[in-house]
């Protein structure tokens, strides 16, 4: 009797196992990045010549594109004539659906890494990162009426109460 019951139970288990395999759900689809939040920095995507706002001197070129299925934006910044020698940097920026903020990681050929967090502030995209000795670095991307983009960098040593200028660039399409 035990053999008959045991064989019947094994048969039912095998049958259930095969049924589960044939009716298993497809793996979950990755969410796409078509939400409006992912498009908030699209005005910055393009091929650019970069100028100092103060004197209109060309300082760099920048290539900015969508990557990772339009879930992120990558910048490649090149300034061969920078004071102190050729300068280059790259960044990855994306809106994070978990914390509902934008994040940017910027790395350059001088060994610096900036980890910025921010988001829209009116028409601007406003990012802040910790700096040296407890300071804060702020970077603002501001679309202009003529299609250019202004990038303004400032630094604060008093927790963000006051900001000192670091750079002010205008990105113009090639």
Residue 41, Cβ neighbours under 10 Å: how many? 24
What pLDDT, in 10s, does the model give residues 64-106?
Answer: 999 999 999 999 999 999 999 999 999 999 999 999 999 999 9
Which of 140, 137, 149 has the alpha carbon at shortest distance from 173?
149
Q: What domains are there in the chain, each with its CATH number?
A: 36-173 (2.40.128.20)
User: Quick one: average pLDDT of 118-123?
Assistant: 96
Query: How remote is the C-alpha of 72 from its chain's centroid?
Result: 5
Query: How remote is the C-alpha of 73 from its chain's centroid?
Result: 5
What are the CA-CA distances from residue 41 to residues 11, 66, 70, 84, 127 (Å)?
59, 10, 11, 31, 12
pLDDT for the residue numbered 150: 98
In this prediction, residue 58 has a pLDDT band, given cuts at 50, 70 and 90, of very high
């Amino acid at each position: 009797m035990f053999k008959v019951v045991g064989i019947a139970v094994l048969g039912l288990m095998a049958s259930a196992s095969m049924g589960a395999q044939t009716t298993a759900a497809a793996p979950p689809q990755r969410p796409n990045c078509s939400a409006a939040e992912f498009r908030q920095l699209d005005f910055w995507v393009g091929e650019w010549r970069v100028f100092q706002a103060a004197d209109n001197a060309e300082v760099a070129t920048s290539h900015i594109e969508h990557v990772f299925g339009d879930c992120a934006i990558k910048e490649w910044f090149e300034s061969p004539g920078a004071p102190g020698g050729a300068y280059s940097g790259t960044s990855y920026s994306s809106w994070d659906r978990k914390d509902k903020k934008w994040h940017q990681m910027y790395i350059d050929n001088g060994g610096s890494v900036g980890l910025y967090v921010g988001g829209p502030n009116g028409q601007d995209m406003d990012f802040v990162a910790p700096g040296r000795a407890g300071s804060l670095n702020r970077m603002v991307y501001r679309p202009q009426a003529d299609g250019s983009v202004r990038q303004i960098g400032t630094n604060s040593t008093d927790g963000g109460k006051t900001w000192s200028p670091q750079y002010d660039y205008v990105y113009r399409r090639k």
